[in-house]
Structure 1
Amino acid sequence: MPLYWTIDSKERLFTGVGEGEVTLADAMSLLEALAGAKALSYRKLFDGRAVQSTMTGEELLAICAKIRAYHEEGPVGALALVGTAEQTVRFSRLLGALAAADRPIKLFNSLRSARAWLALQRK
């Protein structure tokens, strides 16, 4: 699987990274792990700079629907996303779904600045 993550319950922090081609099944597995660990309210850092998506527009919409359904379950934590400018354009719908939640969200082009911002988001 090209997605890797750590869920730190003590720090209430989810840290994820992607490498290579990511499928719908990969993305859904990540979301289900996050929900299954009851970590939706945790702060989240995801570095997707090395990700290439093989997903269709319909598959991206399915991920958006899943994310929005999780937003209905309760509070979600701050989100720092690290990506390239090209990825921001490609995944604009997905980013819109992520931004729909009542939480801080910010895009970064460097992991260092994303970590610094996320550290300020502790609740």
Structure 2
Amino acid sequence: MPLYWTIDSKNRLFTGVSEGEVTFHDAISLLEALAGAKALSYRKLFDGRAVQPTMTGDEVLAVCARIRACHDHASVGALAIVGTHEQTVRFARLLGALATADRPMKIFTSLRQARSWLDQQAPA
């Protein structure tokens, strides 16, 4: 699986990294792991700079729908995403779905800046 993550319950922090091709099923597995660990309210740091997405437009919309459903059932913590400019343009819909939640969210091109910003966000 090209998605790797750590869920730190003591610090209420989720850290994820992607490498290579990420499929629809990979993305859904990540969301299910967050929900199953009751970590939706945790602060999240996701480094997607090395991702090579393989999802179709319909699959991206289905991931968006799943994310919005998570927002309806639980509070969600601050989110720092690290990606390239090209990725943010390509995944504008998905980022829009992430931004609909009532939580701090910011996109970075530097992992160091993302970590610094996320450290300033209070755990939920």
Q: Secondary structure at the match of 1:72?
A: helix
Instruction: State the Cα distance separating 1:74 from its structure 2 match.
Output: 1.8
- Paired residues in the alignment total 123
| Structure-1 residue corresponding to 2:47 | 47
Q: Does 1:103 align with 2:103?
A: yes
Distance in 2 (CA, whole Å) between partners of 1:22 and 1:41 is: 24
Distance in 2 (CA, whole Å) between partners of 1:65 and 1:74 is: 15
| Structure-2 residue corresponding to 1:20 | 20
Q: Deviations over 1:10-66 (max 9, x none)?
A: 000000000000000000000000000000000000000000100000000000000
Distance in 2 (CA, whole Å) between partners of 1:62 and 1:4 is: 21
Distance in 1 (CA, whole Å) between partners of 2:5 and 2:69 is: 21
Q: Deviations over 1:55-113 (max 9, x none)?
A: 00000000000000000012100000000000000000000000000000000000000
Instruction: State the Cα distance separating 1:122 from its structure 2 match.
Output: 1.5
Identity across aligned pairs (percent)?
77
> TM-score if structure 1 supplies the norm length?
0.99
Instruction: State the Cα distance separating 1:4 from its structure 2 match.
Output: 0.1
RMSD: 0.5
Q: Secondary structure at the match of 1:94?
A: helix
Structural mapping, 1:76-91, within 5 Å: 76-91=76-91
Q: Secondary structure at the match of 1:55?
A: coil
Distance in 2 (CA, whole Å) between partners of 1:48 and 1:74 is: 24
Structural mapping, 1:23-38, within 5 Å: 23-38=23-38
Unaligned 5+ segments in structure 2 are: none
**Displaced runs of 4 or more, over 3 A:** none
